[in-house]
Amino acid sequence: MGTRLKDRVAIVTGGGAGIGEAIAKLFAREGARVIVAGLPEDPVDDVAADIRTAGGSALPFKGDLTTLQAATDCVKTAVNEYGKLDILINNAGVFVETNELTDYTEEGFDYMLRNNVRSVFVMTKAALPELQKTKGNIVCAGSEAGVLGIPQNTPYGGTKGFVMAFAKGVAGEQAAYGVRCNIVGPGPIDTAWTHKETGPMDKKMEKLNNQANLMGRRGTPEEVANVYLFLASDEASYVTGAVYMVDGGITIGKGPVGDQAAKSFKQQPATDLDLDHSMDGHTSIR
Ligand SMILES: NC(=O)c1ccc[n+]([C@@H]2O[C@H](COP(=O)([O-])OP(=O)(O)OC[C@H]3O[C@@H](n4cnc5c(N)ncnc54)[C@H](O)[C@@H]3O)[C@@H](O)[C@H]2O)c1
């Protein structure tokens, strides 16, 4: 067990799968008590149980975090069970439809706005009074798509652009209360979304993702979680309003740069987190 988040209480939204699962497990391993928050059908019980089995502290919270009521209940769970809230990780998000804009459905657009934008607003609003008490911090999930936009899913890039600007605004406003707020911008990460078998990407998009970044591969959820850990910890005490891209260089890559990546770059590092659910993300519109 590490100590980088010793005695801290953290909420990780979307903690039942993919990157959120990796964040929850890594934070717990570094001493945080973690609320693993997700939709009622997400395997948040399993992730919390895994953490406890490994000697950490975690509890599941189930609810649709697009509503202020669920967001408030989630924060109350942290405070009632663990006494306070130090860290909010706004990681929950959806990527359900790939279509050119002319074919993009209104239903898909609204679903995207609710889950990627509204959820970040209500969770941040609900958590701030507690974070002001502890002089805590927030880390939000942006995306390379929030910087570059993304063809065939233009609304997704738009929602992430919102999150990135929103988080910078929060950093500016909340500095008066001693609350930091930062952004992690993942590139293509090895979760359900970036595999044609489990996500909305087709074979061509999957291949392009790997070609377009300087590593020639997807990042792992653990490689992203490492950066969340730094930003949420006291090591980042002078970091606020910052965007940390964890994208294998996709935002500076030009052309099929991944094809030229060294073999050592293309090899994913071995994980030592037990990520049972990294491929179990929900990809259908509910
Ligand atoms: N995977 C990637 O390549 C990638 C790239 C850039 C950014 N991101 C961002 O990282 C975050 C996590 O992505 P992932 O690939 O791990 O996805 P994932 O689907 O594996 O996990 C996301 C989790 O969030 C949950 N969730 C969604 N809406 C929710 C809601 N309203 N209430 C509660 N839980 C909700 C989902 O059910 C799911 O368990 C997202 O915000 C995503 O935009 C991912």
Amino acid 244 reads Y
Question: What local confidence, expressed as pLDDT, does residue 160 receive?
Answer: 98
The contacts of residue 54 (CB under 8 Å, 6+ apart) are 25, 28, 29, 274
Q: Which of 83, 166, 87, 85 is closest to 120 using CA atoms?
A: 166
Task: From 11, 19, 210, give the residue whose CB has the most ligand 1 atoms within 8 Å, as the site to mutate.
Answer: 19
Active site positions, annotated? 156
Strands 137-141, 87-90: pairing kind: parallel
Question: What local confidence, expressed as pLDDT, does residue 166 receive?
Answer: 99
pLDDT in tens, 194-237: 998 888 888 988 998 899 999 999 999 999 999 999 999 999 99
CA 13–ligand 1 middle distance (angstroms): 9
CA distance linking residue 230 with residue 99, whole number of Å: 36
CA distance linking residue 62 with residue 74, whole number of Å: 8
pLDDT in tens, 27-76: 999 999 999 999 999 999 999 999 999 999 999 999 999 999 999 999 99
Structure tokens at 286: 């509910």
Range list of β-strands (E), 48-197: 57-62, 87-90, 137-141, 180-186
Query: What residue's CA is closest to ligand 1, atom 19?
Result: 281
CA 93–ligand 1 middle distance (angstroms): 4
Task: From 282, 283, 284, 286, give the residue whose CB has the most ligand 1 atoms within 8 Å, as the site to mutate.
Answer: 282
CA distance linking residue 23 with residue 228, whole number of Å: 7
The contacts of residue 272 (CB under 8 Å, 6+ apart) are none
pTM of the shown model: 0.95
pLDDT band at 161 (very low <50, low <70, confident <90, very high): very high
pLDDT at 1 over 90: no
Q: Which residues line ligand 1 (CB under 6 A)?
A: 13-14, 16-20, 38-39, 42, 64-66, 91-94, 115, 119, 141, 143, 186, 188-189, 191-194, 281-282
CA distance linking residue 268 with residue 261, whole number of Å: 13
Instruction: Evaluate whether 40 touches 63 at the Cβ level (below 8 Å).
Output: yes
**Domains recognised in the chain with CATH numbers:** 9-191+220-252 (3.40.50.720)
pLDDT at 284 over 70: no
Range list of β-strands (E), the chain: 9-13, 33-38, 57-62, 87-90, 137-141, 180-186, 243-246
